[in-house]
A = this chain, B = another copy of it.
């Protein structure tokens, strides 16, 4: 029922426009915030800017901006938190692409940072983006209350730390050595990609001074869409490989990595993703039409490239 409601209330173009508008705003904010390449050591700052502006859907900033709007936090403050999460997300991609990690030459059709610059610069640029995310959050312009700023910093550090995103990346690396069941795969995804979604969905209510109930609801919403997003990614991996290479298994399975698609099969995973999207939409029912964008987001994520 909640699915039908969101389907009829919001048409996909509106959501697409919402995402584009959020992306344009956060890009402008990052353009102003990111340090300009300085004279002798400017290479690292040029690499930070390259990594950030090479592309991206700006999905996490969108979640922050929509959450801020829903609970009534000023957009100027939300944009700083949105810039911080995108810098932090970008650092994780830069380090993930390194030769010792996924060894990727291209991201979004462009050379990865260590290809465009060099490996040492890529390591430093990642470090710089991670560090700068915290500097942006700690500044009084993010929120007049230092207590709110510390809440955001602590939440982001936990979400992206060794018991969050970094732990998830470690789990991904050791995955081929283990025989992962569904619970392990869900834990991996919740840490690797879900944790930053959880931060992004809670940042708005925190900036607005919303209560625990609202924050918890947004966190639960984040868990549903994070997992649905990951399943849709895995589905694209399998489908795309099947079409291009004429085989039914994709990159993840070749590397011995269990995904919810490899465990449940394509149809089972697709059903699970839709169930999660409906669960996410149902969680936001209480907020009415103001939450239309967030409510239809998981369905749009499922429909992309399919």
Contacts and interface: CB of A to CB of B under 8 A. Distances in A.
Contact of A44 (B123, B160, B167): B167
A227 to B, nearest CB: 18
Interface stretch (A143-151, A202-210, A213-221, A288-296): A143-151
Contacts of A145: 146
**Chain A interface SS verdict (over half):** helix
A35 interface: yes
A43, A48, A123, most chain B CB atoms within 10 A: A123
A95 B38 contact: no
A62 to B, nearest CB: 24
A41 B168 contact: yes
B146 A161 contact: no
Nearest to A118: B100
A130 interface: yes
Interface residues of A, number: 57
Interface string A118-152: 11110110111011101100111000011101100
A140 B45 CA distance: 32
Interface in A171-210: 171, 173-174, 178, 184, 187, 191
Q: Could you say how many copies of this chain the assembly holds?
A: 2
A95 B157 contact: no
Contacts of A150: 138, 140, 146, 149-150, 153
Given A146-B149, A157-B138, A167 B38 contact: yes
A128 B162 contact: yes
Nearest to A127: B166
A242 interface: no
Contacts of A174: 40-41, 43
Contact of A128 (B166, B171, B184): B166
Nearest to A143: B150
Contacts of A119: 100
A169 interface: yes
A7 interface: no
11 contacts: A40-B184, A41-B167, A99-B100, A100-B119, A101-B123, A130-B130, A134-B134, A135-B154, A135-B157, A139-B154, A146-B147
